Structure 1
Amino acid sequence: MRDLLLQPRQRRHFILRASTGLVLGICAPLAWAQAPAAKSTGTPVILVLGDSLSAEYGLARGTGWVALLEKKLAQEKLAATVVNASVSGDTTAGGRSRLPALLAQHRPTHVVIELGGNDALRGLPLKNTEDNLAWMTEAAQKAGAKVLLVGMQVPPNYGTDYATRFAGLFPSVAQARKAAVVPFLLKGVADGPDPTRMFQADRIHPRAEAHPQMLANVWPELKKLLR
C-alpha cells in the first residue's frame, strides 16, 4: 500500500507464465511500457494492476500472492499467463493512467484491480477513488476482459463513517459494473487475534507468511471467472 519512502529502483514489473513457472522478465521502474506483449494464443492472460501488496514490497521475489497465483494455476492445470503490472505506492489515479497502455500491450482476458489503499492512506477524496475504480473497470470490460476488484479496508482510527464508506466502494462499483469482487484482500491477515505478527516492521506490508492467505482470498472469485 503506502510506499512513500520506496526508491524508484525498488519498483518492479514482471511477467509470470504458469506453464513454465519461470519469471520471464524483470524490468526497471515504469518499464511496463517496454515489456513484451502477450501473444494471442487463446490462453487466458491475467493482468494484475495493484500496489505494493501485489508488487512483493519487502519480500523475496516469488513469494508474493501474485507469484503464488502462478503456481496455483499450474497446480490446477489451468494454462494462463500472469502479467503483474503492480507498482509500489500506486493509487487508483496512477492505475487509471497506466491501464490503457497495458490493455493495448497485453490484451488481457482478465484484469485484477488491487488499488485504493494508498488513496485512503493519503486522504484522497472517496469520490475520486470510486470514479477511478469505475473507469478502470469499464475500460477493461470494453477491452473484452473480465474484471475482479480486490477491496481494502482502513484502520478504525480513520473514523467509522470513512472506513465504512471506503470499504463499501469496492462492492458498490463491482455491482454497478457487473464485475466480481473480493471485499477485503487482507481478510484473515489484518483482522486476526494478533495481526501484527503477520506484518513487516512497518506494520503496513504483510510478511511472506501472509501471502498464501491473501491468495486464498482472491482465488475463489478469480477461479469462477477463469472457468
Structure 2
Amino acid sequence: MALSWFQDLSFVSKTAVVIGTSASIIGGTYILYKRLFLSGTTGPGESTREDVSPVITQSEKRVLVLGLDGAGKSSLLKCLSHQEGDGKLEPTEGFNVMCIQGKNTTLNVWEVGGTKNVRSYWENFLQGTELLVFVVDSADELRFPEAKEELHRLLKDGRLEKVPLLVVANKQDLPGAKKGGDFLASLDLVLPLKSRDVHLLEVSSSAEKKSANMSEVLDLMSVLSKN
C-alpha cells in the first residue's frame, strides 16, 4: 500500500511529517499577519487606532539545525538558550522550535530529529531557511561518512542555494575528537567554497554541564543569518 511507510512510523514521527509539510504555509501566514498588523492595515469596517505607539521591531531570521541523531543538536540549543545543566536529553524524534535572542536579531530556530526514519523529511523544512546549521559529533569517526552523505544531499537542494552554512564540530571535550582541517576533510569540505559561505566552529555542548564557546556560536549565527 502506498501509505504503508507512514503507518509504520511512531506517533511523534507522523506528527513531524504532517507539521513539517505545512511548516512553510504556517510560517508564511505568520509573516503576512505580522506585516499587516504592524503596518496598521485593517479589515472592512475597521479603523486604525491613532493612539497606538510606534512598534520597534527586530529582524527575525529562520535558522534550520540538522545533523545525525546523537550529534548534540538539542544540547546545543539548550546551551544557546541558557538552559544547560538540567539533565540528559532524549533524542529528538520529531522537531523543536524555539526563539533565541541574538545581537539585534531574533533567531527562529527549527531543530529536526536526526534518526534515519526522520531524515527523509528534512526536505519539508528547507523552504525559507536563512541559515543552515549542521551539527556533527566530532568524536564519532565511524559516523562521519553518514554525516557527509546527508550534508551533501542537503547542499544539492536548490532551496538552500547560497544559504550560509555553519558546521558545528560538537563534543570537542571527548577523546579522539576531530578538529580543523582533518574534521573538514572527513566531511569532504574544502574551504572556502566558491558557491557558499561556510564556517566551522568547534564546541562542547552538554545539557548536563556548563558548555564552552556558546557566545561565539550565537554571535556567528546572528551575523550569518543576516547575509
Given the two structures, how large is their TM-score scaled by the length of structure 1?
0.53
Cα distance change on mapping 1:156 and 1:44 into 2, 3 Å: closer
1:117 maps to amino acid? D
Mapped pair 1:138 → 2:126: no
Aligned to 1:101: 124
1:58-137 map, 5 Å = 64-68=78-82, 70-73=99-102, 76-85=103-112, 87=113, 90=114, 97-104=120-127, 107-114=128-135, 116-117=136-137, 121=140, 123-124=142-143, 126-137=144-155
Superposition RMSD in Å: 4.2
Taking only the aligned residue pairs, the percentage that are identical comes to: 13
Mapped pair 1:31 → 2:15: yes
Cα distance change on mapping 1:220 and 1:77 into 2, 3 Å: closer
Retained in 1: the 8 A contact 2:107–2:222?
no
Aligned to 1:178: 196
Determine the C-alpha separation between the residues in 2 that align with 1:208 and 1:30. 33
Q: Secondary structure at the match of 1:34?
A: helix
Residue 49 (structure 1) shift: 1.5
Aligned to 1:21: none
Unaligned runs of 5+ in 2: 1-8, 33-59, 83-97
Retained in 2: the 8 A contact 1:113–1:150?
yes
1:54 maps to amino acid? K
Determine the C-alpha separation between the residues in 2 that align with 1:174 and 1:94. 31
Greater Rg over alpha carbons, structure: 2
Deviation per CA, 1:36-94: give whole Å up to 9, x if none.
5242338421111144422249xxxxx71354583433xx3324422222x3xx37x67
Retained in 1: the 8 A contact 2:62–2:131?
yes
Determine the C-alpha separation between the residues in 2 that align with 1:214 and 1:95. 29
Determine the C-alpha separation between the residues in 2 that align with 1:101 and 1:64. 24
Determine the C-alpha separation between the residues in 1 that align with 2:181 and 2:191. 16
Retained in 1: the 8 A contact 2:126–2:159?
no
Q: Tell me how many residue pairs correspond in the alignment.
A: 166
Retained in 1: the 8 A contact 2:167–2:200?
yes
Retained in 1: the 8 A contact 2:134–2:168?
yes
Determine the C-alpha separation between the residues in 1 that align with 2:182 and 2:165. 22
Aligned to 1:12: none
Residue 102 (structure 1) shift: 1.6
Cα distance change on mapping 1:221 and 1:174 into 2, 3 Å: farther
Determine the C-alpha separation between the residues in 2 that align with 1:133 and 1:49. 9
Given the two structures, how large is their TM-score scaled by the length of structure 2?
0.53
Question: Which of the numbers 61, 69, 72 marks the counterpart of 1:44?
Answer: 61
Retained in 2: the 8 A contact 1:49–1:95?
no
Aligned to 2:48: none
Mapped pair 1:55 → 2:55: no
